[in-house]
Structures are given as structure tokens and as C-alpha cells.
Amino acid sequence: MYSYYLTIVLAPLFAAIVAGLFGHKIGRKGAHSITIGAVGLSCLLSFYVLYRMYWGGAEPENVSAYTWAVSDGLRMEIGFLVDRLTALMMAVVTFVSLMVHVYTIGYMHDDPGYQRFFSYISLFTFSMLMLVMSNNFLQLFFGWEAVGLVSYLLIGFWFKRETAIFANLKAFLVNRVGDFGFILGIAAVVMFTGSLDYVAVFGQAEEVAAQSIEVFPGSPWNAMTLICILLFIGAMGKSAQAPLHVWLPDSMEGPTPISALIHAATMVTAGIFMVARMSPLYEFSTTALAVVIVIGAITAFFMGLLGIVQNDIKRVVAYSTLSQLGYMTVALGASAYGAAIFHLMTHAFFKALLFLGAGSVIIAMHHEQDIRKMGGIRKYMPITYWTSLIGSLALIGFPGTAGFFSKDLLIEAVRESHWHGAGAVYWIAYLSVLLGVFVTALYSFRMFFLVFHGEERMDKETRSHLHETPWVVTVPLIMLAIPSLVIGWYTVGPVLFGGFFGDAIVVDPGRDVLAHMGEHWHGPMGLLTHAWQTPVFWLAMAGLATAVYFYLLRPDLPAKIKAKVEGLYNLLDRKYYFDDLYIKGFAAWGRGIGTALWKRGDQFLIDGVLVNGTANSVGKLAGVMRQLQSGYLYTYAFAMIIGLTMFLGWLIWFR
């Protein structure tokens, strides 16, 4: 199977190199053919791997590709660990990537950077596969940074736009803040285990958890807690958890296909995947899990609220992504790793669908993204309308859709996870994910109604050109709508309760909520028939109803409410002032420190006083000494007499 793994990883890389370096030679058709062919091959083989792993009963494989370096007994390798967790991720990543590749033909049709774009997204697929297939921390970090690089390049794809190149720098730097923690976490892993290899590290988890380290003198910290929190800081950057979430909404400056692929379906879920992969470590630190669940809960609820006031179609979806990532993080913190990964999967389908649907609308609207200038598009774009409806229903967890199964069970898992006690952590988490359901339904259908229903608010010129997008756009929409609708039904049982992940995910039996829930599992039909008994369902319906009332029946109301609660509105509109804090605060302080150190430290103190000061002093001293060399005999004689006197004095008194 090793050659299969190599092909899966290297095919997109090869295509990226060809499309990137020889793009002008092979032309547009050549570029998209080779990249789609390569990613298609990867996708096919990934599904074959998944098939073998699940239905074929193949054992997990851990193979080393080559030794990167060995120093001081520390082996640094490149290799693959393929188990069911990996196989699932590979299938999701390559499938969504393939759909986005096809879609891109339509979306980037007129763009002069066509070949470059295909090169980048293929490179992204390679990087993401390296990340999920890694069997060690070094390669994990490689993939981690490589997807960050491609994200940087793609957000700034239209590099003439000032907003785009601001956003990509911001995204890279905020991610680097997370990576700062991440690399320290890896360093801590090496310190306590002496290895970078997953299997070796997981094997020593128990011993590590028994150790402690004094980061601050006098207050020993549990080693595992330190490791897990540091690693999670990395996940907060990559998966955009508060307070490192600020880069994701701005990343919408990039072309829509990559918003779907990178900033919704795959890259941003890397943090979720990483924590699930590290479950053998996290299970030894309830402190770290409590941190995870609180951060996730804050993100899930508060980022969702921001979605309600956004007017850019992509930003609404972006805030929804933030909120859903928060849901996944909450599940991780509740030790329901399986539920997190399951939601990751369904979310990848319906969120990619929503983004691509939004992109389809944007194409038809000639790159207008303001939903206040849309409306009534339903009749012009039926395929986009119906697929977007499916995506929105899946997002709010409408019974039967993929999102229903994943979200409902995720919330159920949080409710059941009593190990946090009934203390503050538990209630924060549970109430956040519960109330988040209402918020999700409200902002999703607010956008949906404003775009597809109601009054046609676009100008005449745009309206006359409105029509359904070409098949390269609509086929991916349909291909993604199908799993968004039905995949939950088929996979929920095996993935969540059928022991799908095997040994890939380790949970302390005392806290294993999913196993506990599995005892009462009666199949998807059972869940569906009881849906209306849960608060989740009614909250979603309430959110949907609110959206219907405000945006279909009484479209005059929102503006009035907005005027009434201006303070709250401003708070949301300014995104809780995080951007102001970071840009006017940290960034400005950083530049201030830089200027101060440069002007005061380097130029004034070191160069001015010490270096040139020394040179000047030498010069002045020389000037004084030169006075002595007067050439007059009496000066020399006088000096000799003084010298003689001092010498004699020294002989008499000190010897």
C-alpha cells in the first residue's frame, strides 16, 4: 500500500509543479487537466484506502518514507500513519478538493492567473494530505505550515487589492502566533519523550502525565497539561478559535473556491483533526480538555452572533464556519472526538456547498457580494437555489440532513459529558452549543432569504444578465448537495457508535460519552423520529421562524430594531473590537517598540554613545594629548620634572 500512499500525496504535488512552472507552456486547458487528473487520482485512491480500511478490514499502517535527519538520537522522519481516522480525512480532503478544482474552471474563467490558481490549490491538496497522513510531529508541523503558506498565497491571490494583501499578511501572522505555541508544544513533547514519532510518544503518555515541570518557580505544572495546551494554541490559530479567529473573516478576500476548500472544509479543520489525533495525550489532562471546551464554546456562540449583522455573503458563511468550528472544538473538549470528526466531515460537505453556492451567486451578480443588493435570485438560478437550500438546512441541522445527525449528536454528547461536573465549564459549553442552534438558524436563513427571496434589489443592468451558472459550477454543487443531504443517514451509526476509529482515537472509559450514548442507539430512524422531542429541533425552528418573520414577512423590522439597540449592534458590527485591539493595540505597539529600540537603542545608545562616542572621545583625547606635543623645550622639561617627582614620591611613600 506504500506506493498508493506515495501516489496519493505526490500526484497533486507533481501537478502543482507542472502547472506552476510550465503554466504558460501547457496553457489553461493543460493546467486544469493535469491538476484535476492528479487530484482525481488521489481521490480515487483515497476512497480505495478508506474502503480497504473499513470494509476490507485492513490494519492501520505506519510506514516511514525517508529519514529527514538524525541528530543526538532524535530521529526526524517523513512517513505515513494511515488508519481509519486518516483514511476518512483523506477521502474528505481529496473529494472536496476535486469538486473545487472542477468548480474553479467556471469561477476563475476570466482570470489571468488561471494556471497559478490551479497550481496553488493542487499544492494545497498535497500539503493537507501531508498533514493528515503524517506519522510524526515534524511532518505534522511541515503540513501545518505548508497549508498556511498556500492559504497566504491564495488569500493574496489578487495581489493588486490592498485589502487582499492586508488580509493574507494578517492571516499568516495570526497563524504564526498559534504556531508559536504549537512548536513549543512539540519541543515539550520531545523533552519528555525524546521522540517525534506518534506511536512512540503515545506509548509514553502515561509516564509523561506523571511528570511535572516548573515553568514558573514554585508552581509545578503537569507535563501533559502543558503539552496539550501548547499544542492547542496551535489549533486555535489554524482552526480560528477565539481569540485567534480574526484572520478567518478577512480571508474571504481570496477567490471563493479557496474559501470553500481551505477556509471552510479542510485547512481550518486541521486543528480539530490534530486534537483528535492527539487524543491519547489529551485524555491524560482534564485541565487541557476544560480549556479546549471553554474556548470552543465561546467561539461557537459569540462568532455565530456576528453572522447576524454581516452583509457580505461570504462573510456570513465565514462567521458560520467559525461558529461550527467552535462546535467541533466543544466536542473535543467533551472527549467526544468521534462526534467532532463526524461533524467535521458533514460540515466539509455542506459548508463547501454553501460557499460554492455563494460563489455561484457572486459569478451571476458580476462579483457583487453585498446581500443588500441581491434578492429574488431564486427564479434566475434554480440549481443554485435548491442546492443552497439543502446546504442551509444541513447547516441548521434540519432533521434528516447530514448536519442534523452530526450536530444533534454532538450537542447530545456535550449534554451527557458529566465529567466536567455540573460546574461552570459544563454549563458554558452546553448552553453555548444549545443557544448557538437558534443563532445558526437565524443568520443562515437571514442570508438565504435576503439573497434568494423577496424584492429584487440589484440594478437593472445586473438583473438583465442574471442566469444560472455553467455546468462546471453546478455539477460540483449537486455533487456536494448529495452527501450534504444523505451522508449522515448512512454513516452516523458506524462512525459514531460502530467503533469506526478503532485505536486511532483513545478515550478514557470513564468519560466515553459516545460509548454511553451508543448503548441507547437505535439507528438513524430512531433519532429522526425523536427529533421533535429535543430542544435542539425547536430552537432551530424558532431561529428559522424568526428569519421568516423578519426577512420575508416584515422586512422593515430589522432596521428599526437595529436603531433601537445601537450599542449592541455596534459591538457586533465591530466584531467585539478584536480587530481594533490587535491592529491599533498589538501591531502599533510592536512598531512602537521597534522604532524605540532602533532609534533609542541602536542609533542613540550603541552607535551614538558607545561607538561614535568612543571614536569622538579618542579624537578629543588625542586633541588634548596633541597640546602636550607643543615643541617647546620648557613644556617637556616641566613634564619631566613632574614625572620625576611623582616617581620619587611613589618610591618613598609606597615602597
Sole binder of another protein in the list 160, 367, 467, 560 (CB under 8 A): 160
Query: From CA 361, how far away is CA 369, in angstroms rounded?
Result: 8
200, 581, 593, 621: which one binds another protein (CB under 8 A): 593
Q: Is 604 in the site for another protein (CB under 8 A)?
A: no
From the CB of 165, what's the least distance to another protein, in Å? 4
> For residues 37 and 590, which CB has a smaller minimum distance to another protein in the complex?
590
Write down the least CB distance from residue 179 to another protein, Å.
5
Task: With contacts defined by CB under 8 A, name the span among 326-334, 422-430, 592-600, 628-636 that binds another protein.
Answer: 592-600
Of the candidate spans 56-64, 148-156, 408-416, 501-509, the one that interacts with another protein by CB under 8 A turns out to be 148-156
Q: What does the alpha-carbon distance between residue 414 and residue 148 come to, in Å, rounded to a whole number? A: 31
129 part of the interface to another protein, by CB under 8 A: no
Q: Is residue 532 near another protein by the rule CB under 8 A?
A: no
Tell me: does residue 22 bind another protein (CB under 8 A): no
Q: Which amino acid is at 396?
A: I
CA distances from 270 to 246, 336, 592, 623 (A): 17, 17, 34, 69
Q: How far is the CB of 348 from another protein (least distance, A)?
A: 25
**The only residue of 141, 438, 448, 550 in contact with another protein, by rule CB under 8 A:** 141
Establish if 598 lies at the interface with another protein (CB under 8 A): yes
253 binds another protein (CB under 8 A): no
Q: Label residues 547-578 b or e (16+ Cβ within 10 Å = b).
A: beebbeeebeeeeeeeeeeeeeeeebeebbee
Site string for another protein, 192-221 (x = CB under 8 A): --x------------------x-x------
3-state SS record for 311-361: CEHHHHHHHHHHHHHHHHHHHHHCCCHHHHHHHHHHHHHHHHHHHHHHHHH
Q: What spatial distance separates the first Cα and last Cα of the chain, rounded to whole Å?
A: 91
Q: Is 172 in the site for another protein (CB under 8 A)?
A: yes
Question: Which of 493, 542, 537 is CA-nearest to residue 518?
Answer: 493
CB nearer another protein, residue 115 or residue 392: 115
User: Does 571 participate in binding another protein (rule CB under 8 A)?
Assistant: no
| Residues numbered 459-518 forming contacts with another protein, rule: CB under 8 A | none
CB nearer to another protein: pick between 188 and 458: 188
Q: Is 169 in the site for another protein (CB under 8 A)?
A: yes
Q: Using CA atoms, how far apart are residues 180 and 185, in angstroms rounded to an integer?
A: 9
Give the separation between CA 477 and CA 381, rounded to whole angstroms: 12
What residues contact residue 444 under an 8 Å CB cut-off, 6+ apart?
Answer: 320, 392, 395, 396, 543, 547
What is the DSSP secondary structure assignment for residue 459, as one 8-state letter?
Answer: -
Q: Which of 557, 581, 597, 639 binds another protein (CB under 8 A)?
A: 597
Answer yes or no: are the C-beta atoms of 265 and 96 closer than 8 Å.
Answer: yes
Answer for which of 58, 173, 472, 548 binds another protein (CB under 8 A) is 173
Q: Which is nearer to another protein, 19 or 88 (CB)?
A: 19
Q: Can you tell me the distance from the alpha carbon of 453 to that of 443, in angstroms, rounded to the nearest whole number?
A: 15
Give residue for cell 441581491: 374
Helix (H, G, I), strand (E, B) or coil at 202: helix
The nearer residue to another protein, 216 or 632, going by C-beta atoms, is 216
Say whether residue 595 binds another protein (CB under 8 A): yes
Binding-site ranges for another protein (CB under 8 A): 66-74, 138, 141-142, 145-146, 149, 152-153, 156, 159-160, 162, 165-166, 169, 172-173, 176-177, 179-180, 183-184, 186-188, 190-191, 194, 213, 215, 590-591, 593-595, 597-598, 601-602, 606-607, 610-611, 615
